[in-house]
Structure 1
Amino acid sequence: MAEYKEEDCLPEKSVIDNEKATKSDIDVILEEEQENSPIEAVRLAVPLTDDPTLPVVTFRFWVLSFFFTALGATIQQYYFFRSTSGAFSIFFVNLVTFTMGKFMARVLPENKISISGQELSLNPGPFNIKEHALIGIAVSTGASAAYAIDILSATDIFLGFRINAIGSLILIITTQCCGYGMAGMLRRYLVYPAEMVWWSNLVQVVFYNTMHKTDEYQRIRLVRGWTRMQFFWAVTAVTFVYQFIPQWIAPILIYFDWICWFNPFNMDFWALFSSMYGAGIGSLSFDWTSVGGTAMYYPLAAQLCAYSGMILNYWIIVPIMWMSNTLGTKTMGRPLTSRLFYDNGTTFNIDEFLNEDYSVNEELYEAGPPANMAPVYALGFMTSFIALAGCCSHVAIFYGPEIWRNWKRAVGSKEEDIHTKMMKIYPEVPQMWYAIFYVIMAILACIACEFYGTQLPWWGLILSLLVGWFLTLPIGVMNAVTGYGPGLNVITELICGYILPGKPIANMTFKCYGYMAMYQCNLLMSDLKLGHYMKIPPRSMFIGQFYGTIIGAVFNYLTMILIIDSQRSALNGDAPDPNGLWTGQRVQTFWGSGLIYGALGPARMFSFTGKYWFVYIGFIIGFLAPVIPWLLSKKFPKYKWSNLNFAIIAQGMGSFPNGFTVGVLPSIIVCLVFQFFIFRYHKVWWKKYVFILSAALDTGAAFTGLMMFLFLGGGISPKLSVNIPSWWGNYYVKDNPSSPNSPYFAVDRCGAADNQWTSGTLAK
């Protein structure tokens, strides 16, 4: 980090109230401070400007953030139960709220309303960039499918046990909020240093500044003399129209498994080349949502590590395991599945072995044959252990000294990033706010666990939160620096499986709290960094994020109830959805892990005398592997060996535990074109286009998904559900009218729907 003189730091007296600050305060800082961020991409994207007088938490913020958070939470929960996932793009939110905010600024009166003795102006002036950014942050916080929905859905769909509305909302809100208290303690390590980039924020910074035409963004001209906003709308419109082709007219373009077509009814071809049910080797996808804009700007080294892991696992290891029938891979019927089976390939049904309290009847289970998991699924547990251990080891080796220096010095000393200095004019959120908030959420979480049938005692809940505390820092560093970071879902399952064996609901709950404490902390940190770049007052950030979380939780729950009640048979597998749109696959994966770790327990499933003992080797590999690039960095210091990240490689290896291996090859192509060729040889073009192009492509695809949901998928009314007539590009009815994909197994024109394979057989 850059060295600064003590007298260059902003004194304490410069910390002033937002309403009393003036733009000249920032101008003084910039006159004194000549440095910029040491990170090149940050220098290219984030301007060194601020106006502290701009109002942030306004009437327009409350209204617009409520509406779009509710809409986003509903749509994301809808996609949670769909066979193809979409995204409620934050860029779509930014566009629409920009237009609506400008409109409200023109038409609303300047009257003030009083709420609890506090006056709030209906129209404090022009719709500004900070107000706009805070709306986006509130929406991004709440407009998602909350992880606790997995618990509520799994118990409802597979066990017929529904937690009531109060218990469900407490569960959702507390799992979403427990990470906030952790974030308050870790700001100085994961937000303030310049090296903590949080890469996805850069494209948003460019997007906000483009819309509001700030400073140099107003002067930049692109192709044909267009402004950035004109270029954005042109690309968005083209993408919007195009996306209807793969998403609606010809979904075969999503799963373009061209190699499989050479021998579509060969079971081995199906298992290796189908991206819907197999390894997806060489599969293409012409759907932008399968690629995503991050491939255009995430660090090249990190992306290559992730793609290397995908290719290693799904294009090399999976074929070897399938063709050699390693551990009975072929017996399971599919290489990638989260279901459990008996030795003969019959599906294992846990319902036959559950007591009335949903715990496992040990005597009944031990009297029959043991359950097995797909070997590739077991390998996924091993790679998750490699990723987690590798993350801790890699961060300790390569970033440990810097973290230790940050730990020893107080924020405000002589090694501050310029953006951190600029933020010091705003009052910080006291650590006590975060501490009190965290304690309240922890108490409510204990209540949810003790009184709403989760099987998890209060001490188990405390342990899960401690696991999140312990591992959040290294994972946060990895996320901030590379854009990639492992989750805690598997390690939390493992711990709970040993301390509370035979209790699948307890295992899912323990995992949810342990994982979400870390995940939400990282999400808040990323948003805090965005607020850092946009110069949003920290206290306004705190209010906006909590507001979005509460709204999102309510609409997540309502949407889940409506979908489960109307699509239960398709979600639990009792009756297939003829259009292939509704699926309980994500819930099934979550429930499958709950069975493995919770009901049956790791002591039984991963016994050192059993089939899957190798998963624990992942911890050893993960801890030791980063030593290799560290030693190489000592031997050959001119090369940046920290870019060889085994944690990210392992994370890539476990990217598709349950099928749908789409987007690997096209993502690699996009990454190499933009992050290798253009960034290296045409950097001026990259600076002008890449962030706004990425935002436009993602926004156009999001618009298509939203329109399909509302007007073609029955989102507004079932009467508006419109399907393209049967043809080669979606499904092909031939010999079996009752099977929409006959004679093929799925829309990718691969596999035999009638189970009549011409070659390649399952092992028996």
Structure 2
Amino acid sequence: MSSIKEETPAEKFTDDTAEKPLDIDEEEENSPIEAVRMAVPITDDPTLPVITFRFWLLGAIFTAIGAVITQYNFFRTTYSSYSIFFVNLSSFYLGKLMARFLPTFKVTLFGQEMSLNPGPFNIKEHAAIGITCNAGAAAAYAVDILATTDLFLNYRISAIGGILMIITTQCVGYGMAGLMRKYVVYPAEMVWWQNLIQVSFYNTMHNTDDYKKVRLIFGWTRMKFFWIVCAITFFYQFIPQWMFPLLMYFDWVCWIKPFDRNIWAIFSSAQGGGAFALSFDWTSIQGQSMYYPLYSQLCTYLGMIFNYWILVPIFWLNNIWGTRVFGRPLTPRLFFPNGTIFDYKDFRTPDHSLDVERYDALGVKVTMAPMYALGFFMAFTALTSCISHIGFFHGRKIIRTFRAVLANKEEDVHTRMMKAYPEVPHWWYAVFYVVMAGLSIFCVEYYKLQLPWWGLIVALVLGFVLTLPIGIMNAVTGYGPGLSVISELICGYMLPGKPIANMVFKCYGEMAMYQCNLLLQDLKLGHYMKIAPRALLAAQLWGSLVGAIFNWVTQHVIINNQRDLLDGTRPDKNGLWTGNRVANFWGSGLIYGALGPARMFSTEGKYGWVYYGFLVGLILPAIQWGLSKKFPKIKWRLFNVTLIANGMSKFPNAFTLGILPSLIVAVIFQGYLARYKKDWWNRYTFILAAAMDTGAAFTGLFLFLFLAGGVSENLRVEFPSWWGNHYTEAGDNFPYGFVNRCGAPHSSKPAGWTNFNPAPPDSAY
């Protein structure tokens, strides 16, 4: 760590607005990318300190908060994201406050002597805190494995093993990112469009007086506006989340015929298709609806609406492939043909593998709900259509860029500016990759995770080989495919009957690529912000370490307190702790791991057609491209097959909740305000989205800790029963969770009505 101090000496600190202008030739050259020229200045002050006491403290605090919030939301029905704009705003003012009041004496931290207060809080220090949060303030993918093995197999990996698994899956991508940065970070053509808004945000806050002078409604500063909106959202969220859950699942169509099973299956957003359902819970809408590109949102929602509002009713009403046998149209569970739920615990060996002899002796095949199978079809379509779409519509550009990189043509101006700082040697990254791979092998072998060492190597090789083309796609186009489906498919054929092995293989294969792309994106952000490479590496590692610890602690506390709700032993009274994402991950583990794709998608079975999704994904963009040549006036590329297919494959990641209100918000903000009220949109949108997301996230965390028994069972408080959260005789108040709750909580049941069986046999229909 001593080398970090040499490149950012605090003793040479100047004012945080000081800039070192380039010479005239460099100013005239700038970047060949117009958007980069507009957003990224070609100025730098190499004397600004980055790795400071304020960085270590604020980076740890905001990463810990983000890791807790996002991991907590992973287990919830609705999901509220952790806004990087909240981090940027809050850390900016806290950093300024620390610069004003902290003493200047020196301390030794991580072997590095530094001043508690090296001077004004500067832009590089600020950006490094954001990069730390980007690296660690997320729900770790490895927690999926820890949660599913704990909840569904009663196999709990130790604290050391769990944290080690999280760290290795999060950090194995570092070595890959470092080795690939020459091709995916340094070239000017590798824009990484997601970074430009953050670069503009940092420069607006630090390098101009406009940010300080701008006044919003009632003359409020941006920060005052942020905290007032955040507080209002925080208190408002108690209404749909605790006092009035009917507002969360506002399935108004269900009120027309409250005891009709078909109405419930089609219009309930809790267990059905959710057609025309509303929600007044902000966590089901989220701030991204305000600023994500309208065409991408429209394509995604088009896929969701077609799937849930059109296909679900068709499949359900016509009982296609026995849809009604499974009790509800959307479920990640596996069933026997008569609708009885398949319990894997009855068919496993002591090492949690499938007992093949016992399973085959049944003489019947376990199956899944048709809409779940369709989700896999669309996931395959999304994967190959992404490759096909980028190949047809962006292929020439990517090839030109890649050839320019390989030919080592003239360097980008920003790359030349970064030569002022000591580089991270390639061998550092190579050694780090080998160490992380070795610890990963130790983890899967020592904790008996079914995946042999050679299987883990295959997963890592898969991620390594595909990261470069996917990284280029992300850098040039802004999006790229994931590897989760193809990873579990490959492992399913390699190691059938091994559900844990399949989940671990998918985690390491997917995360090696996914995390590497995130790190490459942050490397490019540091490139734009002129953060020294070694300081940047320290920021990323610090975030990953802090995030891993708090990810593990959060999932451990939640599972201990909500186990019976998450594993399905007891239904949640208000539908907030359904654990649907955990169930989805386990469902995929059973399909691809325990039973294997050869059984589940065999040509003799009824779901052999799923593999045609690969072919459909390849063909449709080719047709689009041909039409774009025939009818060039139509913007065919905006009808993105990948986004539409991705929308259709969303379930069962969450309930069909928030589709219509999110679409309404997107149309208002992106369709109207962004076009016709551009000044208002620029002034309010991002800060409004950040404030509402932050307030909603803190409400959920507060409810868990202090009203749902998260801290202590003595703090478990239920809001009194009334018509907005009516408790049934069974003690639940989950609106529309079952057909007898569909819109009429106080109505008497019609004559002859019996309680709904969630998995009735065929004869029931």
> TM-score, with normalisation over the residues of structure 1?
0.89
Residue pairs, 1:24-173, within 5 angstroms: 26-28=20-22, 32-34=26-28, 50-114=44-108, 118-173=112-167
Matched, 1:524 2:519: yes
Letter in 2 for 1:253: L
8 Å contact kept, 2:142–2:166: yes
Residue pairs, 1:558-573, within 5 angstroms: 558-573=553-568
Using the TM superposition, give the Cα deviation of residue 159 of structure 1 relative to its aligned residue in structure 2, in angstroms: 1.4
Match of 1:4 in 2: none
Aligned length: 746
Using the TM superposition, give the Cα deviation of residue 414 of structure 1 relative to its aligned residue in structure 2, in angstroms: 6.2
* From 653, 658, 663, the counterpart of 2:658: 663
Match of 2:731 in 1: 738
CA distance in 2, matches of 1:351, 1:370: 16
CA distance in 2, matches of 1:40, 1:289: 36
Letter in 2 for 1:398: F
Residue pairs, 1:524-563, within 5 angstroms: 524-563=519-558
8 Å contact kept, 1:386–1:619: yes
Matched, 1:635 2:630: yes
Residue pairs, 1:469-488, within 5 angstroms: 469-477=464-472, 479-480=474-475, 484-488=479-483
Match of 1:279 in 2: 273
- Of 600-609 and 122-131, deviating more is 122-131
* From 381, 384, 387, the counterpart of 1:386: 381
Residue pairs, 1:230-241, within 5 angstroms: 230-241=224-235
Match of 1:11 in 2: none
8 Å contact kept, 2:338–2:761: no
CA distance in 1, matches of 2:24, 2:712: 55
8 Å contact kept, 1:235–1:697: yes
CA distance in 1, matches of 2:675, 2:47: 40
SS in 2 for 1:550: helix
| CA offset digits 1:357-403 (Å, max 9, x no partner) | 22112121111121010111111111111111111222222223222
Match of 1:9 in 2: none
Match of 1:325 in 2: 319
Letter in 1 for 2:56: W
* From 487, 501, 516, the counterpart of 1:506: 501
Letter in 1 for 2:173: G
Match of 1:377 in 2: 372
* From 700, 706, 710, the counterpart of 1:705: 700
8 Å contact kept, 1:471–1:518: yes
CA distance in 2, matches of 1:142, 1:455: 27
Q: Name the CA shift for 1:41/1:271 in 2 (closer, same or farther; >3 Å).
A: farther
CA distance in 1, matches of 2:312, 2:495: 33
- Of 689-698 and 476-485, deviating more is 476-485
CA distance in 1, matches of 2:212, 2:173: 38
Using the TM superposition, give the Cα deviation of residue 701 of structure 1 relative to its aligned residue in structure 2, in angstroms: 2.7
Match of 2:404 in 1: 409
Identity %: 60
Q: Name the CA shift for 1:418/1:383 in 2 (closer, same or farther; >3 Å).
A: farther
* From 155, 176, 179, the counterpart of 2:173: 179
8 Å contact kept, 2:187–2:411: yes
Residue pairs, 1:459-474, within 5 angstroms: 459-474=454-469
CA distance in 1, matches of 2:344, 2:86: 43
Structure 2: runs of 5+ lacking an equivalent: 1-5
8 Å contact kept, 1:359–1:502: yes
| CA offset digits 1:307-360 (Å, max 9, x no partner) | 221112112222211111111111011111110111110101111111122211
Letter in 1 for 2:563: R
CA distance in 1, matches of 2:243, 2:33: 43
Structure 1: runs of 5+ lacking an equivalent: 1-15
8 Å contact kept, 1:337–1:658: no
Letter in 2 for 1:81: F
Letter in 2 for 1:130: K
Using the TM superposition, give the Cα deviation of residue 146 of structure 1 relative to its aligned residue in structure 2, in angstroms: 1.3
SS in 1 for 2:21: helix
Match of 2:439 in 1: 444
Using the TM superposition, give the Cα deviation of residue 197 of structure 1 relative to its aligned residue in structure 2, in angstroms: 5.4
CA distance in 2, matches of 1:540, 1:151: 32
Letter in 2 for 1:183: A
Using the TM superposition, give the Cα deviation of residue 423 of structure 1 relative to its aligned residue in structure 2, in angstroms: 4.5
Matched, 1:455 2:450: yes
Match of 2:305 in 1: 311
Using the TM superposition, give the Cα deviation of residue 703 of structure 1 relative to its aligned residue in structure 2, in angstroms: 3.8
SS in 1 for 2:662: helix
Residue pairs, 1:610-625, within 5 angstroms: 610-625=605-620
8 Å contact kept, 2:187–2:405: no
Q: Name the CA shift for 1:508/1:400 in 2 (closer, same or farther; >3 Å).
A: same
Match of 2:236 in 1: 242
CA distance in 2, matches of 1:609, 1:323: 26
Superposition RMSD on alpha carbons, in Å? Answer: 3.3
Match of 2:3 in 1: none
Q: Name the CA shift for 1:751/1:80 in 2 (closer, same or farther; >3 Å).
A: farther
* From 633, 640, 645, the counterpart of 1:645: 640
* From 604, 624, 628, the counterpart of 1:609: 604
Q: Name the CA shift for 1:417/1:214 in 2 (closer, same or farther; >3 Å).
A: farther
Match of 1:299 in 2: 293
* From 584, 592, 596, the counterpart of 2:591: 596
8 Å contact kept, 2:177–2:519: yes
CA distance in 2, matches of 1:316, 1:435: 51
8 Å contact kept, 1:493–1:598: yes
Matched, 1:677 2:675: no
CA distance in 2, matches of 1:602, 1:737: 39
Q: Name the CA shift for 1:285/1:403 in 2 (closer, same or farther; >3 Å).
A: same
> TM-score, with normalisation over the residues of structure 2?
0.89
CA distance in 2, matches of 1:422, 1:751: 66
8 Å contact kept, 2:249–2:736: no
- Of 144-153 and 694-703, deviating more is 694-703
SS in 2 for 1:113: strand
- Of 208-217 and 97-106, deviating more is 208-217
Using the TM superposition, give the Cα deviation of residue 219 of structure 1 relative to its aligned residue in structure 2, in angstroms: 4.6
Letter in 1 for 2:498: K
Letter in 1 for 2:115: S
| CA offset digits 1:619-652 (Å, max 9, x no partner) | 1011121112222333344554333321111111
CA distance in 1, matches of 2:722, 2:187: 55
Using the TM superposition, give the Cα deviation of residue 124 of structure 1 relative to its aligned residue in structure 2, in angstroms: 1.0
CA distance in 2, matches of 1:644, 1:30: 44
- Of 390-399 and 438-447, deviating more is 390-399
Q: Name the CA shift for 1:493/1:560 in 2 (closer, same or farther; >3 Å).
A: same
CA distance in 2, matches of 1:648, 1:196: 22
| CA offset digits 1:205-226 (Å, max 9, x no partner) | 4554555473543454545555
Using the TM superposition, give the Cα deviation of residue 201 of structure 1 relative to its aligned residue in structure 2, in angstroms: 4.2
8 Å contact kept, 1:293–1:697: yes
SS in 2 for 1:120: strand
Match of 1:343 in 2: 337
Using the TM superposition, give the Cα deviation of residue 108 of structure 1 relative to its aligned residue in structure 2, in angstroms: 2.8
Q: Name the CA shift for 1:418/1:651 in 2 (closer, same or farther; >3 Å).
A: farther
8 Å contact kept, 1:89–1:699: yes
8 Å contact kept, 1:209–1:217: no
- Of 97-106 and 256-265, deviating more is 97-106
8 Å contact kept, 1:155–1:162: yes
Matched, 1:726 2:724: no
| CA offset digits 1:667-686 (Å, max 9, x no partner) | 22222222233333333443
Using the TM superposition, give the Cα deviation of residue 737 of structure 1 relative to its aligned residue in structure 2, in angstroms: 5.0
Using the TM superposition, give the Cα deviation of residue 467 of structure 1 relative to its aligned residue in structure 2, in angstroms: 1.9
Letter in 2 for 1:738: G
CA distance in 1, matches of 2:205, 2:102: 21
8 Å contact kept, 1:203–1:695: no
* From 333, 355, 358, the counterpart of 2:352: 358
Letter in 2 for 1:623: L
